[in-house]
Amino acid sequence: MGIKRYFNDFTALFFAQACAGCDAPLVDGEKHICTSCWYHLPETHAHEDQHNSSARQLWGRVRIEAVASYWYFREASRVKRIIHHLKYRNRPEIGTVIGQRYGAILADAAPFNQADVIVPVPLHPKKLRKRGYNQSMFFAKGLAHSMRLPVVEHGIIRRRATQSQTRKNRYERYENMLETFEANDIGGIAAQHVLLVDDVLTTGATLEACAGTLLENGAAKVSAVTIAKAL
Ligand SMILES: [Zn+2]
């Protein structure tokens, strides 16, 4: 037994990881998500349908080529537990594993496979300090690996914390989000078809604001993908 293998087995004793979706112990070859969960995860197949519900949500709001989400997000579901581990339990590599899988699918799906660069939705610096990582960046890394695309990590940055949205009407919320993002690496996005990536699509306000910012700053086209879509 090689020393590395020994070390891996040794550390596994103390850090035996459970599946992020169902808590079952992972077996050899499984990373973060068990085989049974992969089989049961609710794929949207949105990349096959230009008029999918994620895309329709952005219609009339921003000029975006295509939108797709990998899974449906339901309460008390495997997807919800996986996203929770990804964001709040210090397991950012889950995002990379998901990105690799989804990227392998998107590599054959137009127009996603015509993108030039990947840009993750940024976290606010305060949140980033607290969490230690941007989960969307890890998802982006996995996508980049399978789609053979570069990541422009700081293509967009957040200017300030998003204020509470609860007391604002829809237009005010939109205005608020617009103020939140700005292009940072203009050289990296100019004249590019940008694949914008985020964790969960809920109201669409974040994708809308980020896509708008990218287009205003010279991106030729924007498509977007998320890990999950709230129902
Ligand atoms: Zn599982």
C-alpha of 52 from chain center: 18
Residue appearing with tokens 């794929």: 43
Q: How far apart are CA 25 and CA 32, in angstroms?
A: 10
3-class DSSP assignment, residue 200: strand
Strongest mean pLDDT among 125-129, 158-162, 219-223? 219-223
At residue 1, the pLDDT reads: 45
At residue 126, the pLDDT reads: 86
What confidence tens digit (pLDDT) does each residue in 45-88 have? Answer: 999 999 999 999 999 999 999 999 999 999 999 999 999 999 99
Q: How far apart are CA 182 and CA 201, in angstroms?
A: 20
- Tokens in use for 32? 């973060």
What confidence tens digit (pLDDT) does each residue in 109-123 have? Answer: 999 999 999 999 999
Ligand 1 centroid to Cα of residue 13, in Å, is: 19
Residue 153 has pLDDT above 80, yes or no: yes
Domains of the chain: 44-230 (3.40.50.2020)
Ligand 1 centroid to Cα of residue 126, in Å, is: 32
What confidence tens digit (pLDDT) does each residue in 163-179 have? Answer: 555 666 776 666 666 56
Ligand 1 centroid to Cα of residue 17, in Å, is: 11
Ligand 1 centroid to Cα of residue 37, in Å, is: 4
C-alpha of 103 from chain center: 11
Q: How far apart are CA 128 and CA 126, in angstroms?
A: 5
Give 113's contacts (C-beta < 8 A, 6+ positions apart): 106, 107, 147
pTM of the model: 0.88
Ligand 1 centroid to Cα of residue 86, in Å, is: 14
Ligand 1 centroid to Cα of residue 178, in Å, is: 38
Question: Mean pLDDT lowest for which of 87-101, 119-133, 166-180?
Answer: 166-180
Say which amino acid occupies 196.
Answer: L
Say which amino acid occupies 142.
Answer: G
Residue appearing with tokens 């660069």: 117
Asked if residues 155 and 185 have their Cβ atoms less than 8 Å apart, the reply is: yes
- Tokens in use for 154? 């700081």
3-class DSSP assignment, residue 103: helix
Beta strand segments in the chain, E: 67-73, 117-120, 156-158, 181-183, 193-201, 221-230
Cis peptide before 42 (omega within 30 of 0): no
Local confidence band at 9 (pLDDT 50, 70, 90 cut-offs): low
Q: How far apart are CA 118 and CA 136, in angstroms?
A: 11
Residue 148 has pLDDT above 70, yes or no: yes
Mean pLDDT, range 139-161, rounded to an integer: 93
